[in-house]
Amino acid sequence: MAVTAAQGSAVIIIPGLRDPVEAHWQTLLERELPRVHAVPAMGRTDLDCQRRVQAIEEVIGKLAGPVLMVAHSGGCITVAHWAQITASAHKVRGCLLATPADLECPLPEGYPPMDLLRAGGWLPVPKERLPFRTLVAASRNDPLGSFDRIRTLAGNWGSDFEDLGEVGHLNPASGFGPWPQALSLLERLEESAPP
């Protein structure tokens, strides 16, 4: 696949607030790419945001050379927190931020309430421009974030924006499974990154 061959970038997978899921597109993508490293899925019980930020730092710290990141849902918010404190941002050629969760609005039943997210250090969500190229891929019917609010967040982050149409939360409950478009979006990030 061209995304890792063109510039030799490794890929880091950053899951959201979920347990390991075999059928999730990020898990399937991890099996497909040759130079891929995954931040462990930590579930919805331990909501320590800094622990997840540190997990990204540990993975990227072991890698030499450029990296691409692929974050989903709450993982997108983890990346925004990580970008505020890391000295490793220069390694990132680009980051795909797929269906970011809007943690500043109440989430559906089964997801953490806002008081626990606040206590875990997730709030407020960072809205500063991210220090590397990013592409936000948003759903028009995502139960975890309205399209307009996610488009505004993408603007705050300085991200390119991809309208995915109605794909729910881009998870197995929404019918994903495989998400082949992730590869083409990663290729776009790789090809448009500065040398």
Question: For the segment 67-125, what is each residue's pLDDT rounded down to a tens digit?
Answer: 999 999 999 999 999 999 999 999 999 999 999 999 999 999 989 999 999 999 999 99
Q: Tell me, what's the pLDDT at 22?
A: 92
Side-chain half-sphere CA neighbours of 99 within 13 A: 26
The 10s digit of each residue's pLDDT in 152-179 is 999 999 999 999 999 999 999 998 899 9
Which residue do the tokens 């995304």 mark? Answer: 3
Best CA proximity match to 137, nearest among 100, 172, 192: 100
Q: Mean of the per-residue pLDDT values for the chain?
A: 93
**Which single residue is written with the structure tokens 């795909």?**
96
What are the structural domains of the chain? 19-192 (3.40.50.1820)
